[in-house]
Amino acid sequence: MTADQAIAIRCTVNGEEHTLEVGPGETLLQTLRDRLSLTGTKEGCLEGECGACTVLVDDLPVDACILAAAAMDGRRIRTVEGLSTGERLAPLQQAFLDHAAVQCGFCTPGVLMTLTALLEQRPSPSPEEVAAALAGNLCRCTGYRQMIDALLAVAKEARP
């Protein structure tokens, strides 16, 4: 990439500010994995169909594999690495372990990000709302029931 092709962006990733020069065809997925070494975001279909690359941009779930990195200027991005605090897992991450919602783990980061957004938008979702939120995340191992149970357990714990 030559200097005249590079696009300078400033963004916040997991609370940390970054100034980056990205290529005109570079995706957010490539930037996160290759430039920032945030490999929790997985490369699946590269077509925005499987949800393995789901991250939150300004608190909304997006498919990082089809989003231009250049469009991230001034945006807030959260990845699965940003969910835990030090060695302490986020409640949803712990619930996934407690409810056996993690099988092979490939889809798990994207699912966690999708469900984090749901919990932030709807602290007490119904099972149907959880299932609808998961419609963009493909999983071949769990059948989704454990994921739904994990999220509902977290929502129940958080109620006053």
The structural domains of the chain, with segments of one domain joined by +, span: 7-82, 91-158
CB 22 within 8 A of CB 75: no
- Domain range 7-82, its CATH number among 3.10.20.30, 3.30.930.10, 3.40.50.720, 2.40.70.10: 3.10.20.30
CB 79 within 8 A of CB 109: yes
DSSP structural state of residue 14: T
Task: Give the per-residue pLDDT at 159.
Answer: 78
Query: Closest Cα to residue 40, out of 82, 94, 98, 92?
Result: 82
Token output for 156: 């129940």
Residue 20 and residue 119: Cα distance in Å, rounded?
A: 31
pLDDT truncated to tens, each residue of the chain (160 aa)?
555 689 999 999 999 999 999 999 999 999 999 999 999 999 999 999 999 999 999 999 999 999 999 999 999 999 999 999 988 999 999 999 999 999 888 999 999 999 999 999 999 999 999 999 999 999 988 779 999 999 999 999 887 6
Which helix (H) or strand (E) segment is 115 a member of?
A: helix 108-121
Hey, what CATH topology would domain 91-158 get?
DNA polymerase; domain 1 (1.10.150)
Task: Give the per-residue pLDDT at 103.
Answer: 87
Residue 147 and residue 97: Cα distance in Å, rounded?
A: 10
Written as one string, the DSSP assignment of 25-80 is: T-BHHHIIIIIS--TTS----SSSSS-TTEEEETTEEEEGGGSBGGGGTT-EEE-G
Query: Closest Cα to residue 110, out of 145, 143, 147?
Result: 147
